[in-house]
A and B are shown apart, each in its own frame.
Chain A
Amino acid sequence: MFEAMVVGVSAGGLHALSGILSCLPLNYPIAILIVQHRHRDSDHFLDEYLNKLSAVRVKEAEPGEAILPAHVYIAPAGYHLLVERDKTLSLSIDPPVNFSIPSIDVLFQSAASCYKNHLIGLILTGASSDGSQGLKTIKEYGGYAIVQAPQTAEVDVMPKAAIELVDVDKIIPLEALGQFLIQDLLNSTVVNGGETDE
């Protein structure tokens, strides 16, 4: 069974995230962690806006916070978001990775070594190649890799880069993503390492 999903998104993210998060039910059993590239001085608009239109709780990630199901944690602007092995969140101001802070690779790679085959990685719209390496790491740890179908992305650079580098499990159009996350994924019609437990 999957415990967490990490999401990487850049340009065009607001629309994509709104569509996906608003589909999830209040008791969604998976924790979601998101890196959305944005300006360092961004305020709380993103998490407050997404929280309003979602049944699940959407909030800015705080250091030391325990990761809970049915919660969505957004990386604060200007900080890398990482997952500790005890399933708590941490932040850093280490140098940018792929010119980005927060960086998708940083989140994905730390989450992969924590959740291993209980993790889903999702790459959405964006004009960057950040996240591809991280998605690859998730696969190496036995996790599940999903990419938004490039033709449904506002900017297709990021999904294309991920598909190019990684042997992804699923490529899904934006409009079908929400449904996939609440049905296919939870009904374990998805076959991966997640079902053969350690």
Chain B
Amino acid sequence: MSYIPLFIILPLFGAFVLSLVRTRRFGDIFANIINLSLFILSLIIIRFGTIVYKIGGWEPVNGIPIGIYWVKDGLSTLMLIIVNLIALMSTIFSVNYMERFTEKNRYYCLFLLMLAGMNGVILSGDMFNLFVFLEIAAISSYSLVAFGTESEELEAAFKYQVMGTIASSFILLGIALLYSYTGTLNMADMARVIAIKNSESGILNSVSSISHFQLVNFVCGLFIMGFGMKAAIVPFHAWLPDAHPSAPAPISAMLSGVLIKALGVYVLIRIVFNITGMTPVFSNILLVLGTLSIMGGVVSAIGQWDFKRLLAYHSISQVGYIILGIGLGTPLGILGGLFHLLNHSVFKSLLFLNSGAVVYATGTRDLKQMGGLNKRMPVTGNSSFIASMSIAGVPPFNGFWSKLIIIIACIQANRIGFAIWAIIGSILTLASFMKVQRYAFFGPLNEKWKGIKEVPGFMRVSMVLLAILCIGMGLLLLPQVREVLLNPAVEVLENGIEYAKTILL
């Protein structure tokens, strides 16, 4: 019995059972057990190599796959670990935080559905299966954004839903065009067919060859629009600053921490690198979009006084770093991009959990009304200090190492302009988080908050664990440790369309 389907089965089981059972204590314990076991599973599968899992036992006929494949390789292992880690931390945080909402079990049900969707997107090796899981995750996230059911939250959720549906229709159109062109939905088989047609049209160089490249480029354009909207890269980012702050804090952590990466960045790079093949044109598009995101996000963030909205704008900016690193296409750039993806998940979800703790204790998100909270809430204050220094890229913390690698990769690839923009973005990030620390946690204690207490135990546990990860994750770059987790992921992207051979055999 293989471990792979358990990543989908367990969260779905949890969601379906929790939609039937109404006992609160049971919901807390059950959801946490499921997420803990998922995290442990994701650690267990590190030691396996590439696994191809065929649902229903449908073996390929004459080498052509007919069933749905689930594929676990280095890149999906990396994504699975980070998704399930952040999900575990968010559910631990939810035990206390969600006490104030009614229908807590419905919340866990939607949460686990979203998790199942994300795990499915990461594991799927079949284009349409991927789209179905993407919609499961996206639709549960729409309703989770509206979970508070205040007018502001409903408005944000509606906007998110409209934009998300437009993105999904672009993606569906792209998948339909690819399917009609290649005649298969299996991602590896698709890559094989496209590679064959590529070489054919190179030799013939006839009218049909032009239409081949036109079609592939058009589909890639659709995918960049669709997945760019899911990942909130700059021209497509308008929904994010409304949607992410409106959700309950653990959900904001999930959305900003992993959802935009699993649904947006991961699928985009999987398709561009492994199916259609990376070309210099796409490399340039990704570099420009990444740089636009870095600057657009951080410039909009600096003027914000709403704590969670500021963090949401920083998500746009940090996703820009990931796109910039991976868009370079060099091994070092990919390493930096993937490592930044890992780091950003950890520190951004920690920051959102911090903001949730502040809202839990004081009831406000306005930075101007806070002040001196460090004296009353030392755990929240100190962990948010660590996370702020991480996101700003201050040396001992994890964010520094990944940004350093991205900048070095830019310089190595002779893209010094992009490196300079990345450095400027990092400095502006530091400035904006100095502001957060100064107004929220340091300085004199605001009279209003004399009576507040530190948040309850479970919330503190998850914040402390994430803060420890922020300090320690730089160790992942040590040569022996890198062999285990980061290098296999980089290899998958480096191999490019050779991906098809490893899957189809």
Whether A associates with B in a native complex is no
Interface residues of B (CB under 8 A from A): none
